[in-house]
Amino acid sequence: MYNFDEIIDRRNTNAMNTDGFREYIFKADDSIVFPYKDEEFIRMWVADMEFATPDVVIDGIKERLEKRIFGYTRVFSEDYYQVFSKWCEKRYGWHFEKKDLVMSNGVIPALYELVEYICKEDEKVLFLTPSYAYFKYAADHNNRESVVSDLINNAGRYEIDFDDLEKKAADNKVALLILCNPHNPTGRVWTEEELQKIGEISLRHNLWVISDEIHCDLLRKGKQQIPFAKVFPNYNKIITCMAPSKTFNLAGLMISNIIIPNEELRKTWLSRHYNFDNPLSIAAAQAAYEKGEPWLEELREYLDENFRITKEYINTHLPEAHIEISESTYLAWVDVSEYFSDEESLPLFFAYKAGVLLEGGSMFVQNSDGFVRLNLACPKSVLKEGLRRICEAVSNKNEKQNKYG
Ligand SMILES: Cc1ncc(COP(=O)(O)O)c(C/N=C2\CONC2=O)c1O
């Protein structure tokens, strides 16, 4: 019913995806000159999608546009809460109170604020690695120390080293755990048992927990999201972050749902946060949660097939690489370490030799060397060309190495 095969021109839209890669991936290093024009790159890096947001969202925005006045706005109406809380009850079997919902123009801005509100100056922020780098930046931005616990890679299935996590959590200066649930970049969907263990450690050491659940709607078919706060309904130090931005490709509209049951922390947030919202973003998010489910279910089918294609192609053409189908997200996490030395920059190699923009190597704080992360949220034709280029570049490199020994 929906055309995910459509290739949409994103040029001249101020998209990070098309215009921000030199700065974000290559630190605006002007000495790097690629043998590709910008529009010739296959873009598999930043986590937004090449798919149009659903028509119901666009219709919701149009309806609000017709009101023609866009003055100061905040989520005052009951409607938004009713629609979003219904979404959470239906899809995750999780209920939260209206009073606990605050809005942020992003999950990352919320992390930046919450680290400051939660952690005293000498306190530390704990998270699992490899990690989305902004978890570390949220600590750095607030001059709080980061403490990391490396996930264990069991033949491609990443698991938590609970002994190590407990050891780190036991540091009485560690005040906050930022949990990525589901996990970017490995794609793990934490099981109830894993969440239970994380929670027991957090309670034992009196940690605050921010559960970043931004990827929670983009699970492979058959997988089930369990909100961390659902497992610990009576623990008053959990903040849950969700958003329509990944699910419905709305990151540029900058609207996120932050659920803070802790009265004192919520009061701090409301007194210090710039508490206004974009009226078009509210309309978009509300329409998405109210009417976007049929589109989402078709998107999930399309992404599942893109993962199948990717695993099959890489297993066939890069036999020394290792890929498991991510349980969530649209991000594939691929071990290509057999083909590269530790010193090589994977993003630079693939941009220069394959004309593919991707993230990898040291871009995920630590415990990620030798891995690339591929954004598969694109039309199949684009995906197949990207995979062809990636595998050809590695094979050519491999042949050259073999030729000269
Ligand atoms: C775990 C996680 N939290 C938060 C965000 C961003 O939230 P926002 O501030 O946009 O509401 C992302 C986006 N992840 C991205 C964005 O580009 N590459 C990534 O891995 C994410 O993966």
For residue 106, report the distance from its CA to the centre of ligand 1, in Å.
9
What's the pLDDT at 401?
67
Does residue 277 form part of some domain? yes
Examine the fold and report which residue of 254, 272, 291 is the final residue of a domain before the chain moves on.
Answer: 291
Q: What is the mean pLDDT of residues 244-265?
A: 98
Same domain, 239 and 299: no
Does residue 3 form part of some domain? no
HSE-up (13 A, CA, CB side) for residue 338: 9
> What's the CATH code of the domain at 242?
3.40.640.10
What's the pLDDT at 400?
67
Same domain, 126 and 202: yes
pLDDT at 404 over 60: no
Does residue 8 form part of some domain? no
- Over residues 336-386, the pLDDT tens digits come to 999 999 899 999 999 999 999 999 999 999 999 999 999 999 999 999 999
Q: How confident is the model at residue 405 (pLDDT cuts 50, 70, 90)?
A: very low
Which of 108, 217, 247, 254 is the best mutation target for the ligand 1 pocket, counting ligand atoms within 8 Å of the beta carbon and taking the most? Answer: 108
Same domain, 46 and 92: no
Residue type, 320: E
Q: What is the mean pLDDT of residues 327-333?
A: 98
- b/e map 229-248, b = 16+ CB within 10 Å: bbbbeebebbbbbbbbbbbb
- If you take atom 12 of ligand 1, which residue's CA is the nearest one? 214
For residue 47, report the distance from its CA to the centre of ligand 1, in Å.
7
Ligand 1 contact, 151 CB (< 6 A) = no
Ligand 1 contact, 184 CB (< 6 A) = yes
Task: Report which of 271, 379, 307 is spatially closest to residue 315, judged by C-alpha positions.
Answer: 307
| Burial of 404 per CB tally in 10 Å (0-12, 13-18, 19+) | exposed
Q: What is the mean pLDDT of residues 309-319?
A: 98
Task: Report which of 135, 163, 134 is spatially closest to residue 150, judged by C-alpha positions.
Answer: 163
pLDDT at 403 over 70: no
Q: Concatenated DSSP letters for 174-186? A: EEEEEEESSPTTT
Ligand 1 contact, 138 CB (< 6 A) = no
Which of 23, 46, 127, 132 is the best mutation target for the ligand 1 pocket, counting ligand atoms within 8 Å of the beta carbon and taking the most? Answer: 132
pLDDT at 158 over 60: yes
Ligand 1 contact, 106 CB (< 6 A) = yes
Q: Concatenated DSSP letters for 113-152? A: HHHHHHS-TT-EEEEEES--HHHHHHHHHTTPEEEEEEPE
* 8-state DSSP, 172: T
- The span from the CA of 228 to the CA of 213, in Å, is 9
**Closest ligand 1 atom to Cα of 254:** 11
Examine the fold and report which residue of 236, 261, 291 is the final residue of a domain before the chain moves on.
Answer: 291
Give φ, ψ of 16 to 5 degrees.
-55, -40
Same domain, 118 and 258: yes
> Strands 174-180, 124-129: parallel, antiparallel or unpaired by DSSP?
parallel
User: Could you give the number of structural domains in the chain?
Assistant: 2
pTM greater than the 0.95 cutoff: yes
Same domain, 269 and 255: yes
- The span from the CA of 381 to the CA of 323, in Å, is 20
Examine the fold and report which residue of 243, 261, 291 is the final residue of a domain before the chain moves on.
Answer: 291
Sign of CA dihedral 345, 347, 352, 354: positive
> What's the CATH code of the domain at 395?
3.90.1150.10
Does residue 59 form part of some domain? no
Ligand 1 contact, 46 CB (< 6 A) = yes
Does residue 60 form part of some domain? no
Same domain, 212 and 314: no
Ligand 1 contact, 212 CB (< 6 A) = yes
**Closest ligand 1 atom to Cα of 251:** 10
Does residue 169 form part of some domain? yes
**CB count, 10 Å around CB of 89?**
12
- The span from the CA of 137 to the CA of 118, in Å, is 16
Same domain, 85 and 230: yes
Task: Residue 322: give the domain boundaries.
Answer: 16-54+294-404
Q: What is the mean pLDDT of residues 130-149?
A: 98
Ligand 1 contact, 250 CB (< 6 A) = no
Token digits of residue 120: 């005293």
Residue type, 61: I
For residue 49, report the distance from its CA to the centre of ligand 1, in Å.
12
For residue 108, report the distance from its CA to the centre of ligand 1, in Å.
7
